[in-house]
Amino acid sequence: MSAIDQLEKELEDLRSRFSQAFQVLDGFSQLQTHFEQLTQTQQELEQSLSQAKNSLEDASAPSELQEQYTELESQFEAKYAQLQSDILDLRHSFEATTYDLQEQLHHDRNQLKQLEQTASPAPGADTNKLDWLENSMQDLSNLIYADRSALQHLDRRLNHVKRVTDIITIVGASGFFVMTIIMVVTR
């Protein structure tokens, strides 16, 4: 082998090594790009984690939520008890008034009957007055019945509101329980 062949072979070896070196450098360049992407992803994850921590810190603690829920529940119970008391007072007042009106109606009817029995046949004007009084008493009786019906309807509505609030209370407590579990698990 001559010196030129030897030089060509060495040049070919150097070209091959340079080619391999460039491939390795190219691989390092790709690695660097991957590392930059990983660094960016890591920064995004750290930023998201930081935001999540801040959100959790800003959120009310479970004990605060429980206190708010308990306070709202006690306020509702107090208002419900007051409403029940007012309705009970109204019912007693209504029943007392109804009783008084029925007594008055009974008394007026008895007086009418006595007048009819003791009086001679009355002229047309007195008969009209008696008819008017009789109709008025019937209207009063109808009003008493209507008021009783309205009071019963109000009582049914109040019981419905109580059932709905009981359901809301159960749902709220369940939601609070789930929120507490989520907060405990994420910490």
Please give the sequence-ordered ranges of beta strands (E in DSSP) within the chain, or none if there are none: none
Asked if residues 112 and 130 have their Cβ atoms less than 8 Å apart, the reply is: yes
81-95 core/surface letters (b: 16 or more CB in 10 A; e: else): eeeeeeeeeeeeebe
The predicted pLDDT at position 45 comes to: 82
Both structure tokens of 117: 């029995």
Instruction: Say if pTM beats, i.e. exceeds, 0.85.
Output: no
Region of 46 on the Ramachandran plot (φ > 0 left; ψ -120 to 50 alpha; else beta): alpha
Low-confidence winner among 38-42, 78-82, 105-109, 167-171 (lowest mean pLDDT)? 105-109
In tens, the pLDDT along 3-59 reads 788 888 888 888 888 788 778 777 777 877 887 888 888 888 888 887 877 776 666
Low-confidence winner among 74-88, 103-117, 132-146 (lowest mean pLDDT)? 103-117
Span between the terminal Cα atoms of the chain, in Å: 76
In tens, the pLDDT along 126-166 reads 667 777 777 777 877 777 777 777 778 877 887 787 787 77
